[in-house]
């Protein structure tokens, strides 16, 4: 079963249960200045989660394209392992005051086991343990529902694990304490797939669903959006109880394949194959982190350019520029040479191939006529940056990593246009890191001098 089949099965499953399919919003929202990109399926639906009537009704389903690069360094630095990307596709279903926990958890369990044929023995669950600071109670109801669903399959061992606000609470702003007044949020329940890989004790003595060792992969998250934060910091119940479900298509496809590397799915494999071809390198252990970053960043870049974003030094254009420049630096580190911009446009064309058969009602708008624009933007940006890479790397390699500080990074930036993030990336590859405060001080000194 490939990603195309899984995506369609999901939408059809919920349409059969009374949901209306709505198109994906584009990555840059026209009416939300508070965020650079759509980073989850619920973002375009916030007014309806707060109580407004949706024109398509109170039961919705879609597949939303998402980009998480708001906390720029944190999001970007996660890419390189077998499961993290900044660009991804989120399957989502919503109840706007219609059904709640019982229906949602039972339906998703049915979808996983009956539609995707996943073995229930390989599924594990997390639920919310409560939060004393915000006076939000433990989610015992979800735990009991899950227990019964597994018992009906003859599974009676412990499948449900409780976690706190850092793992099982969801709002756009994160933890309850960080939410602004008027923002909705709620406890969530995640489903994990067990790939049964050996536990790595670097991540703790005991393995558990939220362990980062790679054995478990989160494949779906049902958020029970039932609270809103008040001006005084307390929480009240929303006028309606909502369900906001999100499941990463890349991860669900990996689970169906029983292969823990999402870059081995058909959503990334064509990109990896083309990167391998132009770089002359195989997709093996030491090369994987570089190739994964390039694949993720160029896919994100294609969607951004198709969404009308062009490289610049601010806002969405800044992230696009970093996508392209980071791809070029990772390629340089992968194959020890600067490749022509045409190699990057070749890789980018694979994104259009991956999504060429998506029906228009999904709303991705990645049409073939955008190919020329994508090629032009990537070619122009990386042709200019190719000269910067050569000069910057030459200077970087003259100095021992332990002697590179914020001042050196600023000089590289000022003289060659070599970005801080990329100098930091290069140092991380050598086991060192930069102090951004030092860089910022040097930048401020330069501004004052100017």
User: pLDDT tens, 155-173?
Assistant: 999 899 999 999 999 888 8
Burial, 65: exposed, middle or buried (Cβ in 10 Å; 0-12, 13-18, 19+)?
buried
Confidence tier at 72 by pLDDT (50, 70, 90): very low
Confidence tier at 313 by pLDDT (50, 70, 90): confident
Q: For residue 267, is pLDDT > 90?
A: yes
Q: For residue 90, is pLDDT > 60?
A: yes
Confidence tier at 74 by pLDDT (50, 70, 90): low
Most confident of 19-28, 112-121, 327-336: 112-121
Q: What is the mean predicted confidence (pLDDT) over 336-349?
A: 89
Rounded CA gap, 275 and 269, in Å? Answer: 10
Q: For residue 12, is pLDDT > 60?
A: yes
Q: What is the mean predicted confidence (pLDDT) over 46-60?
A: 87
Name the pTM for this structure: 0.87
């Amino acid at each position: 079963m490939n990603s195309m089949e899984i995506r369609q099965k999901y939408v059809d499953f919920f349409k059969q249960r009374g949901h209306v399919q709505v198109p994906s919003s584009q990555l840059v929202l026209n009416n939300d200045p508070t965020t650079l990109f759509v980073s989850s399926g619920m973002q375009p639906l916030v007014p309806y989660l707060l109580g407004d009537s949706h024109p398509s009704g109170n039961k919705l389903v879609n597949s939303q394209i998402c980009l998480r690069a708001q906390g720029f360094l944190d999001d970007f630095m996660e890419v390189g392992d077998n499961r993290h990307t900044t660009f991804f596709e989120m399957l989502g279903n919503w109840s706007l005051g219609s059904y709640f926990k019982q229906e949602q958890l039972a339906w998703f369990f049915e979808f996983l086991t009956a539609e995707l044929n996943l073995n229930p023995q390989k599924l594990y669950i997390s639920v919310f343990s409560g939060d004393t600071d915000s006076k939000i109670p433990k989610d015992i109801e979800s735990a009991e529902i899950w227990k019964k669903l597994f018992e009906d399959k003859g599974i009676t061992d412990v499948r449900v694990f409780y976690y706190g606000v850092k793992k099982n609470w969801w709002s756009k702003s994160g933890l309850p304490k960080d939410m602004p007044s008027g923002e909705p949020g709620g406890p969530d329940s995640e489903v994990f797939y067990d790939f049964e890989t050996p536990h790595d004790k670097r991540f703790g003595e005991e393995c558990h669903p939220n362990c980062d060792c790679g054995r478990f992969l989160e494949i779906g998250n049902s958020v029970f959006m039932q609270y809103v934060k008040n001006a005084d910091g307390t929480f009240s119940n929303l006028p309606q109880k909502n369900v906001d479900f999100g499941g990463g298509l890349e991860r669900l496809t990996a689970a169906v394949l029983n292969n823990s590397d999402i870059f081995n799915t058909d959503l990334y494999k064509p990109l990896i194959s083309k990167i391998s071809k132009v770089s002359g390198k195989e997709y093996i252990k030491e090369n994987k982190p570089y190739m994964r970053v390039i694949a993720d960043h160029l896919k994100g870049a294609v969607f951004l350019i198709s969404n009308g974003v062009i490289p610049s030094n601010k806002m969405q254009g800044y992230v696009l520029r970093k996508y392209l420049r980071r791809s070029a630096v990772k390629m340089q580190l992968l194959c020890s040479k600067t490749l022509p911009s045409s190699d990057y446009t070749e890789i980018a064309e694979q994104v259009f191939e991956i999504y060429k058969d998506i029906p228009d009602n999904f709303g991705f708008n990645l049409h073939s006529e955008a190919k020329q624009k994508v090629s032009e933007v990537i070619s122009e940006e990386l042709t200019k940056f190719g000269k910067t890479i050569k000069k910057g790397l030459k200077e970087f390699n003259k100095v021992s990593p332990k002697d590179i500080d914020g001042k050196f990074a600023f000089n590289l930036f000022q003289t060659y246009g070599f970005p801080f993030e990329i100098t930091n990336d290069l140092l991380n590859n050598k086991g060192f890191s930069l102090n951004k405060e030092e860089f910022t001080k040097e930048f401020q000194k330069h501004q004052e001098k100017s």
